[in-house]
Structure 1
């Protein structure tokens, strides 16, 4: 849906039936798993993808430096373009092993995708999903044992806009079944038809039955958001239906502009953060065919971030502000290198909170002329708590422009923030974070923050 492989796009259709809700029994599986709408890593911790796409199959010589740079800018995931041999030269097992090892060395989760399937039925020479499965089976030796670090995205944008798109449901079910029968234990990701944008709602309306076709109940759905998703209403409706149905979805590709229309990237980022949905921007560098503006860096040089790269990595709800490294790399779900940091130190916590109490720390994670972004981390004391309230008084006339993961109210300089329904209960010593953007003047001193537990 980007660069020179893009076909035509019909107008967005309106109303369609809601996705059916499906109960998801717990499964014993290796590596990443699904729990309701959440993706869990191998340690059972929630993992929120925050990353980018890298076109390895066309720019293999750039992969080593690119992955290191992507990590340094704060990402926790990279979606890697591979080829199965139908349209581009096949990436063999040894090459895939090298890519996985480089992802692991950079502490990045690796989403591997076959790109030859792009636009099948409308794009000449495109591979079928069955051929993509043949490819995964042929390189299984490179993938076995990597379930903690690798997610298999069966095929990129596997149908165009023609009548063949109607085959997406049956072909996707068959592909999942064949992979499981071949012994793959990995989490599986499936792309939508219609060049990834699902404007016919084929994936949306059949997601529950596709999920049920996976005997491990470990399939994640991926929507690509370009010109079809040019309004907040469309974005919120599409992602919200998967949330309501209890099905896992990620935004596997999106951009700030496109030849088929102008995506609403601000809503994509804000809604993904609000709903706890992963996203992977397209793409690091090397775009052609008239969509070079989708490059995040110029000529693979991380010192030359484009405006799109600046927005995705450094802006509100972007990668630096929201990315957390997967706990399978030995961390404690802390910010990734290059992730949230503060030019103003957090408000200090003095001693341990009392039993049943809590403390809160305030940090500025990004700033710009006239505005800034912050994160507040609430920590329970020596006993569990059932809710929390954070208060402060702005010292320099700052004012909220947006907030997430808390219910926030202001009266003049006084701020009161209460937990959301899902992050108030904290075990002893556990933490919950919420974020905001705000306006500022010349000064931007940190307020003194207090926390009261329920």
Structure 2
């Protein structure tokens, strides 16, 4: 995705208020234990429990800033606060785009507000990445590293240029693989971002799949680079994106879509030839295929957007290009980038259909949404331009699919009191209340609710008690209301169902004292 941008949040260090503890299967929430590997179309942890990565992209390290965008914000938006906010919303993985330029000796991170981030003063881009990795790990999150561009100059069709060789890319990857060899927070390498066709003629000069030309065949290059990475760190997952057109060329210059709409997909999105020409790695159970998909706000001329059966035609499109690998139990799929401003109402249908297609709970496909950053020009971000306010339209659609990280013991609601209803049969409600920020006269908090049962929870409702004198400011990810000390969050109409093992994080701001926080939490 061609974008650059920034993000910061207003959330102070999280203070968890633990309710009644309960045992939860290792991967019912969070990202599992130890290093990850694959089993058929699943990603599993060191115990064999299924893990679903439900994350986002936080970019900037691939640009001339050489570090995460948004570090220029003020004291209410430090780098730690951003990660706090991601975790509170339920994202369990961060995909980090970077370029080799940011790894060079003497590389300098720029556009950092050192008043709000004094602990980053004088650090190199890699040292800042180390701090992000360490803190994300403390939150129970995982990190995927993404070689986004050969250099900060911009995206290219091929994984190398005249000045940045494949050998240089391999050297960078092996350095990172060794650097994080004993840190399972970093789970793997997305080898190169969005290889694509180039030129205006069929069989052009861009990346192909299965064409056999070692200078252009991305599948062969992915094997070479991936195996080199595994030599340095055999525990890593290897994420391999598709191309745009298997031939590496197409009659249309911009989007690479020829007359046959099923020949070419988005940059990095076409894995249609992977069945015939699979990626073969030297270490078994390490391959994850990754596809990208975007909405109309990015490019409105994709032919499937104009199909008379839209959006019901989309699952067949996705299955043709990449979903079949998951359905056939060939390998896991990570939808590594997908996004939209949602300015066009059709994009709401596109995103809703895509989230449904990827599945629910731990059995769904993994994904990392583009992006956290609000300054991605054609998609916007999860947070808006103030780096704090959540884009609620997006979270209403994405939120029910999120499996939050587990940085502390999962909790459940206490037995219901007389006069309160219980969750329906098959639904087990687990909750965690987090104080995320405070200021004079007010605070921000989050209540994460998980359906840890075996049945879907339709039209879910959660009630709790807040201290006397506290008044509601605003709420998100649910319809939040307050009646004196009794507060209620109801499922939004756009997303009324919480699937088994799915979670939603209800955020709100309030006026008044923050202590003792939410008590008497009940689900119905």
Partner of 2:403: 324
Question: What is the distance in 2 between the residues matched to 1:67 and 1:180?
Answer: 29
- Whether the aligned pair in 1 keeps the contact of 2:401 and 2:502 (CA below 8 Å) is no
Query: TM-score normalised to the size of structure 1?
Result: 0.61
**Structure 1 pair 253–120 and aligned structure 2 pair: CA distance change class (3 A):** same
CA-based RMSD: 4.6
Task: Report the equivalent of 2:227.
Answer: 177
Q: 1:250 aligns with which of 334, 351, 362?
A: 334
Written as runs of structure 1 = structure 2, the 5 A alignment for 1:93-242 is: 93-117=126-150, 118-121=155-158, 130-162=167-199, 163-166=205-208, 167-194=217-244, 197=265, 203-206=271-274, 209-227=277-295, 228=302, 230=305, 231=311, 232=314, 233-242=316-325
Structure 2 SS opposite 1:189: strand
Residue 207 and residue 135 in structure 1: after superposition, are their counterparts in 2 closer, same or farther (change >3 A)? Answer: farther
Pair 1:42 & 2:34 matched: no
Question: Do the aligned partners of residues 375 and 277 (structure 1) sit closer, same or farther apart at CA in structure 2, a change above 3 Å counting?
Answer: same
Distance 2:2 2:196 in 1: 14
Q: How does 1:355-366 map to 2 (within 5 A)?
A: 360-361=426-427
Name structure 1 gaps, 5 residues minimum. 6-28, 336-343, 350-358, 366-373, 380-388, 407-431, 437-444, 448-454
The answer for the alignment partner of 1:10 in structure 2 is none
Summarize the Cα distance change of 1:225–1:200 in structure 2 as closer, same or farther, 3 Å threshold: closer
CA distance 1:221–1:72, shift in 2 (3 Å): same
Which structure dedicates a bigger proportion of its chain to helix? 1
User: Runs in 1 of length 4+ with deviation above 6 angstroms?
Assistant: 122-126, 362-365, 389-394, 400-406
Instruction: Answer yes or no: is the 8 Å Cα contact 1:225–1:254 preserved in 2.
Output: yes
User: For 1:119 and 1:392, how far apart are their aligned partners in 2?
Assistant: 46
170 and 131 in structure 1: CA distance in 2 versus 1, 3 angstrom threshold: same
**8 Å Cα contact 1:132-1:155 kept in structure 2:** no
Report if the CA contact (8 A) 1:86-1:127 is conserved. Answer: no
Cα 1:391–1:73 change in 2 (3 A) is closer
SS state of the match for residue 305, structure 1?
Answer: coil
The structure-2 alpha-carbon separation of the partners of 1:119 and 1:267, relative to structure 1 and needing over 3 Å to count, comes to: farther
Measured after TM superposition, the shift of residue 348 of structure 1 is: 5.5
Alignment pair present for 1:285 and 2:402: no
The alpha-carbon distance between structure 1 residues 391 and 322, as it changes in their structure 2 partners (threshold 3 A), is closer
Deviates further, 205-214 or 151-160: 205-214
- TM-superposed CA distance for 1:170, in Å, is 0.9
Q: CA deviation at 1:375?
A: 7.8
User: Which structure would you say has the larger RCO, counting Cα contacts within 8 Å and 6 or more residues apart?
Assistant: 2
Residue 66 of structure 1 and its aligned partner are, at CA, apart by 1.8
- Measured in 2, the distance between the counterparts of 1:75 and 1:144 equals 24
- Give, in angstroms, the shift of residue 252 of structure 1: 0.6
Aligned residues: 342
Question: Shift of residue 94 of structure 1?
Answer: 2.6
